[in-house]
Amino acid sequence: MKILLLSAYDAASHQRWRKGLEAQFPDSHWTQLSLPPRYFNWRIRGNSLSWGFAEQAALNGDYDLLIATSMVDLSALRGFVPALGTVPTLVYFHENQFAYPMSSRQHKGIEPQMVNLYSALCGDLLVFNSDFNRQSFFEGTAALLKKLPDRVPAGLIERMRDRSRVIPVPLEEGCFVTGGRALQGQCSPGERLQLLWNHRWEYDKGPDRLLRALERLLPRDLPLTVHVVGQQFRQSPPEFEDIRTLLVNYGALGQWGYVSSRNAYRQLLESCHLVLSTALHDFQGLAVLEAVAAGCRPLVPERQAYPEWFGRSCCYTSDETFSDREAEALAEAIIQQVEIWSSGQNLAVPDVTTMVWPRLRPHYQAAFEVAISEKSA
């Protein structure tokens, strides 16, 4: 099978997904085009222009299947390269622009949402990485269509929903702790509970909520070490400096910053007891899932995709409007886990083995076949 894969905003999780697909389907012949994850507004609206004239040779190849991420401006790209209109197409949603939180520096417009919508309508099959992603896309699309003044075709939501399914971005087998540990280790005398926050250092991951939770937690003099790691950028939210100062002042600072070594990062995951999220945006939550696969118990807000993967027992009360309330809920949830662990009990870790590549590969294979059959129907 000859497959063309287009990744228009090739963030780390998108790279991981597309490289995993190529590795899992080595008998297919892959052509992959990707664009760097910067200049978001230009990238999501301009990718068709960038590729349509600079990659004519690659795009006009003879393909059995086109896989495009939801940020690909597929309708415009088909206009520039008409041959793509005949290729069976699977559109993969890592996220959707209807449920993406806006920063204070962003202008709220509907262009990114329209790219999502038009590309979805071009797809023969739509695949979402979580049911939360799928449902929020259809809810957001329905709300947008109601606002449009006239001549909106009927049945668009139903048309897309009938051609959609959920297949997460898989985890590699090496992410899972040796022996498939299901319970986190018990407390030893003098040991400190290891907390991990391992997300992109951006506003949508809620660093303000982490700071407020730590301000409530650290004065209690609990045996805690907090590791704050993840991808950093030239400009990070100012809360990170406040978090670091706070952790230093209370003697609770562990690993800090980006861990470039994959082995060192893996060792850190396996050494931690709890993985935290304060995210306002996590359509799947790969960073948390990977930590859970390594043996960490998650403490996550009761929103986004988290309840799908972990159930309610691992979630603290979500309050997107009042961050102080949510920070208090997180602090109390951590205290409860410290008490359980300090008493000698195990910290239960959810089973996420359904996310491993060998379990999900057949679902991707089936999706390829459905997309092809839908085109020929």
CATH code at position 25: 3.40.50.2000
Look at residue 180 in the predicted model and tell me its pLDDT: 41
For residues 94 and 217, membership in a common domain is answered with no
| Pair 221, 263 in one domain | yes
pLDDT at 376: 77
Using CA atoms, how far residue 242 sits from 170, 215, 237, 238, 355, in Å, is 35, 10, 10, 7, 35
- Note whether 10 and 106 are same-domain residues: yes
pLDDT at 100: 78
Q: Are residues 157 and 37 in the same domain?
A: yes
Query: Residue 39 sits in which domain range?
Result: 2-170+357-376
Question: What is the structure's pLDDT at 234?
Answer: 81
pTM score, whole prediction: 0.94
The reply to whether 27 and 122 lie within a common domain is yes
Write the DSSP symbol of residue 281. Answer: -
pLDDT digits (tens, 9 = 90+) for 279-307: 998 999 999 999 999 999 999 999 999 99
Does residue 178 sit in the same domain as residue 199?
A: yes
Based on the fold, state whether residues 209 and 343 are members of the same structural domain: yes
What distance in Å separates the CA atoms of residue 262 and residue 376, rounded to the nearest whole number?
Answer: 43
Question: Do 151 and 264 belong together in one domain?
Answer: no
Q: Does 62 share its domain with 165? A: yes
Q: Do 15 and 155 sit in the same domain of this protein?
A: yes
Buried b (16+ CB within 10 A) or exposed e, 15-28: ebbbebbeebbeee
pLDDT digits (tens, 9 = 90+) for 12-53: 999 999 999 999 999 999 999 999 999 999 999 999 999 999
Query: Does 190 lie in the same domain as 145?
Result: no
When divided into structural domains, the chain yields a total of: 2
Distance CA 332, CA 373 (A): 52
Residue ranges for the chain with pLDDT beneath 70? 102-108, 178-190
Query: How distant, in Å, are the alpha carbons of 67, 97, 133 from that of 138?
Result: 20, 11, 9
Amino acid at 372: I
351: which DSSP letter?
-
Two tokens, residue 52: 């349509």
What is the DSSP-derived secondary structure letter of residue 60? T
Are residues 133 and 202 located together in one domain of the fold?
no
- The answer to whether residues 71 and 115 touch, using CB atoms and an 8 Å cutoff, is yes
